[in-house]
Structure 1
Amino acid sequence: MNTSNEQPINTKIPFMNTLTGVTNKWTQNGYTDTITISPEGLYSVEKDKKYGPADVRVVDFYRFEGQSDPADNCILYVVETTDGVKGMVVDAYGTYADDDVTKFMKHVEEINKNVEKRDKSEDSQAA
C-alpha cells in the first residue's frame, strides 16, 4: 500500500491494441453506418448517398501493425458526414493500401486524433 504522497504508476495501456476492440468501442458509440469508398467518393449504404471529401470529417484514426505479417497492417478511420452518417473505414497501408481510400482521405480537410478525449474516456472506465 502506498502511504506517501507519490502518485501511483500508471500501468494501463493508453490505447486499444486490437482492431476488434476499437471497432467495438466506436460501434457502441453509434458509429454503425456501412461505409465504402470508391473513385466517386464515400458511400453510405444505409442512406444510399455519396459524399465528397468536404462533406466528411475523420473523428479519429488508429494504425495497427501486424505482429508477424506486414499484410496485417491497417488503419481504421472513424468518420462522420455533414448530415450525420457515422461509420468506420478500414484500409491496409503500405503495399496493400486501397488507392481510392488513400486518395479520398488526402482530400479530407478535417482529420482529428483525439488522444485527450480517449484518455479521459479510459479514465472514467477505470473508475
Structure 2
Amino acid sequence: MHVYDTITDALTDLDSRGYNLDFNLTAESLACKSVNLFLKPEEFEIEEVYRFEGMTDPADSSVVYAISSNAGNLKGVLVDGYGVYAENISPELLNKLKIHHE
C-alpha cells in the first residue's frame, strides 16, 4: 500500500499504474460515463483505499478507491466524501464500500 500526501498525488500515481477510468456513484452501480459503463457491486473489486482528512474542517475529508473489474479488465478510481453516499445508493453498493471504508 502506498502513502500519499494529497489526493492529487494518489490520483497521479494510480493513473500511472493503470487506474485510468473515473467512476461516479449512481443509486445501483459505479458509472464511468466516458465509456458508458455501469458496474454493479458484484462486478468490481476495491483494490486499494486512501483516506484524506480535511486540514481545517473534518467535513472536507475524502476517500479514494482504486477499483478493478474483470468486466473488460478495467481499472479506475472513485473519489468520494466520507459518508456522503450513504442515503443515495443501494444497500449492496453501500455495503461493498463500507467494508473498505471503515
Alignment partner of 1:25 is 2:7: no
RMSD of the alignment, in Å? Answer: 2.3
- Normalising by structure 2, we get a TM-score of 0.78
Equivalent residue number for residue 38 of structure 2: 50
| TM-score normalised to structure 1 length | 0.64
Higher strand share: 2
Identify if the C-alpha distance between structure 1 residues 28 and 17 changes in structure 2 by more than 3 Å, giving closer, same or farther: same
Matched-pair identity in %: 24
Task: Tell me what 1:88 maps to.
Answer: 77
List runs of 5+ in structure 2 lacking aligned partners.
none
Distance change >3 Å, CA 29–CA 105, structure 1 → 2: farther
* Aligned-partner Cα distance in 2 for 1:67–1:34: 25
What amino acid is the match of 1:91? D
Which residue of 4, 28, 45 maps to 1:16?
A: 4
Which structure carries more relative contact order (alpha carbon 8 Å, separation 6+)?
A: 2
Structure 1 or 2, whichever has the larger Rg, is: 1
Residue 35 of structure 2 aligns to a residue whose secondary structure is coil
Report the number of matched residues: 95
SS in 1 for 2:25: strand
Structure 1 stretches of 4+ moved >3 Å: 100-103
Contact 2:31–2:39 (Cα < 8 Å) also in 1: yes
Cα 1:86/1:105, change in 2 over 3 Å: farther
Q: Distance in 2 between matches of 1:65 and 1:93?
A: 10
Tell me which residue corresponds to 2:49: 61
